[in-house]
Amino acid sequence: MTTETETRTRNDEPQQPHAPQRTPAAPVEPVRRRIPLADIIVDSEVQARVELSEAAIADYREAMLAGDQFPGVVVFEGADGIVLSDGFTRVAAAGRAGLTDIMCDVRPGTKDDAILHACGANAVHTAQRRSNADKP
């Protein structure tokens, strides 16, 4: 049998029993589905850029009208509705092209989740470089 003095650490603090290790929850994979543009909340507080590029919107619009396929925009769906997080230029172009819906990668979450994701997405965006005004 172990005595209390045998279970003390070097600094004479009682040892804590080891807590069971928790396995982190597996990340939830986004669900891809088409969502009507009218159902997507486009919130300027989520948009990480100072302004959208009109040239990029026009280019995307033409490509969409020509039938080009684009990656799904990222939305977070939850108590705040369906909040756009990444793909503001694509959503604007789809609207100007007269499309009624757009392919989305739907993740569970709130507007706050959308903001956090938007900050990270625009830091490493490959489609459009951030302007100096976009950088913190």
35-39, 86-90, 94-98, 115-119: least confidently modelled range: 115-119
Checking if the pLDDT of 11 tops 80, the result is: no
Could you read off the pLDDT of 14-42 as tens digits, one per residue?
555 565 665 555 667 889 999 999 999 99
Radius of gyration of the chain (CA): 23
pLDDT for res 3: 52
Is residue 100 a part of any domain in this protein?
yes
pLDDT for res 68: 96
Is residue 34 a part of any domain in this protein?
yes
pLDDT for res 15: 57
Is residue 22 a part of any domain in this protein?
no
Q: How far apart are the first and last CA of the chain?
A: 60
Is residue 15 a part of any domain in this protein?
no
pLDDT for res 86: 94
Is residue 3 a part of any domain in this protein?
no
Which CATH number covers residue 97? Answer: 3.90.1530.10
Closest of 107, 100, 97, 119 to residue 46, by C-alpha:
119
Could you read off the pLDDT of 45-86 as tens digits, one per residue?
999 878 899 999 999 999 999 999 999 999 999 999 999 999
Checking if the pLDDT of 136 tops 50, the result is: no
The residue range of the domain holding 74 is 29-127
Is residue 65 a part of any domain in this protein?
yes
Going from the C-alpha of 112 to that of each of 26, 55, 130, the distances in angstroms are: 20, 29, 21
Number of domains in the chain: 1
- Provide mean pLDDT across the span 104-120: 93
Is residue 1 a part of any domain in this protein?
no
Is residue 5 a part of any domain in this protein?
no
